[in-house]
Amino acid sequence: MSGQVAPSEDQSPGLIKSTQELGAGLFLMAIALFFYWQGLDLPRGTLRALGPGMLPLALVTLLGVGGLMMVIYSLFETGPRLERWSLRGPFFVFGGIILFALLIRTCGLMIAGPVSMIFGMMASDEFKLKEATIFSIAMTIICILLFKTLLRLPIPVIGTLLEPIFPF
Nearer to other proteins, 15 or 48 (CB): 48
Nearer to other proteins, 14 or 84 (CB): 84
149 to 168, contacts with other proteins by CB under 8 A? 151-155, 160, 163-168
Nearer to other proteins, 5 or 51 (CB): 51
**In the chain, what is the greatest distance between 2 CA atoms, to the nearest angstrom?**
68
121 in contact with other proteins (CB under 8 A): yes
Residue of 57, 29, 32 lying closest to 44 (CA atoms):
57
- Given a contact cutoff of 8 angstroms between Cβ atoms, the answer to whether 63 and 24 are in contact is no
- Given a contact cutoff of 8 angstroms between Cβ atoms, the answer to whether 56 and 31 are in contact is no
SS3 50: strand
Q: Which of 3, 127, 129, 145 binds other proteins (CB under 8 A)?
A: 127
Nearer to other proteins, 16 or 136 (CB): 136
18 to 57, contacts with other proteins by CB under 8 A? 20-21, 23-24, 27-28, 31, 35, 38-39, 42-43, 46-53, 55-56
Question: What does DSSP assign to residue 45?
Answer: B
From the number of C-beta atoms within 10 Å of its C-beta (0-12, 13-18, 19+), residue 68 rates as middle
64 to 93, contacts with other proteins by CB under 8 A? 66-67, 69-70, 73, 77-80, 82-83, 85-86, 88-90, 93
Instruction: Report d(CA 140, CA 113) in Å as an integer.
Output: 6
Count of residues that bind other proteins according to CB under 8 A: 82
CB of 100 to other proteins, least distance (A): 4
Instruction: Report d(CA 51, CA 158) in Å as an integer.
Output: 47
Nearer to other proteins, 6 or 41 (CB): 41
Note the Cα 50 to chain centre separation in Å: 33
CB of 13 to other proteins, least distance (A): 17
Q: Which of 16, 71, 107, 109 binds other proteins (CB under 8 A)?
A: 109
Helices H, strands E: what count in the chain?
5, 0
